[in-house]
Amino acid sequence: MTTTRIDTKFAALKAEGKKAFVAYIMGGDPDMAHSLEVMKALPAAGVDIIELGMPFTDPMADGATIQLAGQRALDGGMTLQKTLDMATEFRKTDDTTPIVMMGYYNPIYSRGVDKFLIDAKAAGIDGLIVVDLPPEEDEELCIPAQKAGINFIRLATPTTDAKRLPKVLQNTSGFVYYVSVTGITGAAAAQPRDVAPEVARIKASTDLPVIVGFGINTPDAARDIAAIADGCVVGSAIVKEVAAGKGTEDIATFVAALAAGAHSA
């Protein structure tokens, strides 16, 4: 597979001896214009990789914060096409920051996998996280995505046992996303002492970077988790700032503190 912006970013971070800070925002929350403004402000705030949420009507892996963000986006007229349009617009001024689209399979399936992958590639999407497609369904989207030069990033969780892990890792690329808590997004705090052995277990089976997400909402937590992995993801805490009606500058300041925490690990 060709080298993606994600691979390039991790190589650069490794050369600098830095951990990755990944930020999640819901595309179109509370509207497309504000969402795009926030997205454009993320790299300058220290974000290494952007996770762009595709709003969906039935987000089963997400807690209330992200569910409500998706609802606000859908109420504001957000669609899969407009999420791709956001990426296209972002790429006009930033050709290096990796964008990972995160969401569910239904909107992609409805659009048609081949068409979606052509459009995603054209929009500058580098990776996909599709939480409801297990490895058994790799032929559906994972394999075609890899062929199109788009990383397919898989989630590993505390319940991914030794028997299941090789299956989860077999066609994964870009990085492995380790879900630090059992349950939904934004529900509980990630505990470094619980996460460390799990990250070590995954790293023993793959050369891919392991990024930890779920339950990280302060600069200290970002530092502590990034210190035991290759980086961390913050989602719900950033989405809460958007939900509170904060302006782009305030959100960027909040994100910058989290990024500084991760980068100090």
The set of catalytic residues is: 51, 62
Tokens at 247, concatenated: 């302006």
Nearest-angstrom CA–CA distance, 69 and 53: 9
Contact 153, 179 (CB under 8 A): no
Residue 44 gets which letter from DSSP?
G
SS3 letters across 60-75: CCCCHHHHHHHHHHHH
Nearest-angstrom CA–CA distance, 76 and 66: 15
State whether the Cα torsion 115-29-68-178 is positive or negative. Answer: positive
Tokens at 263, concatenated: 């980068």
In this structure, what are the phi and psi dihedrals at residue 137, rounded to the nearest 5 degrees?
-105, 20
Contact 82, 53 (CB under 8 A): no
E runs forming strands in the chain: 20-26, 49-53, 99-103, 127-130, 151-152, 155-156, 176-179, 210-213, 231-234
Q: Which amino acid is at 118?
A: I
Q: Is 28 exposed, middle or buried (0-12, 13-18, 19+ CB in 10 A)?
A: buried
Any idea which residue has 């006009």 for tokens? 92
Give residue 128's Cα distance to chain centre: 8
